[in-house]
Chain A
Amino acid sequence: MSYRKIFADGLWQQNTGLVVLLGLCPLLAVTGTVVNAIGLGLATTLTLVCSNLVVSLARRTLRPEIRIPAYVIIIASVVTVIQLLMQAWFYDLYRVLGIFIPLIVTNCAIIGRAEAFASRNAPLPSAIDGLATGLGFLLALVALGALRELIGKGTLMSQASLMFGELGESLQVTLIPGHPGFLLAILPPGAFIGLGMLIAGRNWLESKRSGRRKAVLAAEARG
């Protein structure tokens, strides 16, 4: 399998958040702002790369009958390590994302990639697959986060200093000054509606693309 295909699958064709629809709990829960989305997206990506790498390295030792409990131990350990490191170095961000970090363990996308890819492939492609899948999930998180933050508060990247320190202050932009706030977008229903619209948008793009491909094929067939 080529790396190009791995990235195309992870980012677009098999995007975890928008196509496979795994890991909806964090996707819906933390996307109130772009900064939260980036934080959880990066943590999930790191988890995916590490867990895929470890699962792939151990794939010959792990006999089929014990692979699921072994994956669970591996993923839980990786997530806990990431949680401790985040607490030690990004404590302010940890205070925002705190309760969602342990929830990465329950993100089915991670055990899904371990089972579907890492258990059958060499370490390097597995790590790349983790990276691609994680980045695809990050993109979905950020798209939904940006949509909700913009509609709900009229800003982008608010509280960026939690993640980027001093630099973050300058990243924050208010696109709609004096925005009165649109609560629906921030509250849980906004997450569902926003996700629905993103999925619809992706499907629309996809159908347009395949429609064009079909037209080209038909034209070629006609000669």
Chain B
Amino acid sequence: MNAMFRSAAALGLVAIVGTTMLTGVDWLTADRIAAQERRVILEQLGELIPQEYDNALLEDRFTFMDETHFPGGQFATAWRARLQGEPVAVILKFNAVKGYNGNITLLAGINVDGSLRGVRVVSHKETPGLGDAIEIEKSNWILGFTGKSLVNPEREKWAVKREGGDFDQFTGATITPRAVIDAVRLALQYFDAKEAFLFNAPAEPEGGAAP
């Protein structure tokens, strides 16, 4: 009996020491980790928006759902850039759901006039060496979106060249670029339909996980 209690006490002690240590380290690193996450988001957003806004971009955000344009039950995020209160551009973060291997998370910067400032891939699990040419580190393909809009090119040209569209495919990978092209077009269509909502919806403070 006595031995049993001693064992239990020893195990309890190990658990308490472990928990205390974790709490301490979490408390010490929380601010720094949050700062690192903000830095990475700002770097990513900054690539899509030059310095022509004066609002707190990171705080002026909200999340929403729209099954038609952002399928798969995903939450899309919008950051609004404004200059003296006037809308300049919006950055949308959403998933392309028709990739070769899982979701491709994208950031798309859209000007108030509906043209694309640019698109970047945040994360993906496409085949290394084939589908990963969507990354800016691997190829310039993703820069091809810059300046495009729903009228440039027109609707049926939003496809890879093999299917009569305006965008290059990669050797050996059609599914990946097609998924990205479709998702970006849907995002532009959403912007076209819901521009007022995108800029007027109240900002939600960042809660939970960073993108």
Contact = CB atoms under 8 A, between A and B. Distances in A.
Contacts of A77: 18-19, 21-22
Contact of B29 (A66, A85, A153): A85
B194 interface: no
A70 B36 contact: no
Interface in B1-57: 3, 6-8, 10-11, 13-15, 18-19, 21-22, 25-26, 29, 32-33, 36-37, 39-40
A87 B36 contact: yes
Contacts of A223: none
A187 interface: yes
Given A87-B36, A181-B129, A183-B130, A66 B21 contact: no
A63 B6 contact: yes
A61 B14 CA distance: 10
Interface string B62-96: 00000000000000000000000000000000000
A73 B11 CA distance: 9
B210 to A, nearest CB: 11
A70 to B, nearest CB: 5
Nearest to B39: A91
Chain B interface, >50% SS class: helix
A85 B25 contact: yes
Interface residues of A, number: 29
A199 B132 CA distance: 31
Contact of B25 (A61, A65, A74, A81): A81
B158 to A, nearest CB: 29
**Interface band, chain B:** 20 to 34
A16 B15 CA distance: 28
Nearest to B40: A91
B152 interface: no
B112 to A, nearest CB: 32
Interface in B92-129: 127-129
A95 interface: yes
Interface of A: 32, 58, 61-63, 65-66, 69-70, 73-74, 76-77, 80-81, 84-85, 87-89, 91-92, 95, 152-153, 181, 183, 186-187
17 contacts: A58-B14, A61-B10, A63-B7, A63-B10, A70-B10, A73-B14, A76-B18, A77-B19, A84-B25, A84-B33, A85-B25, A85-B29, A87-B33, A88-B36, A91-B37, A91-B40, A183-B130
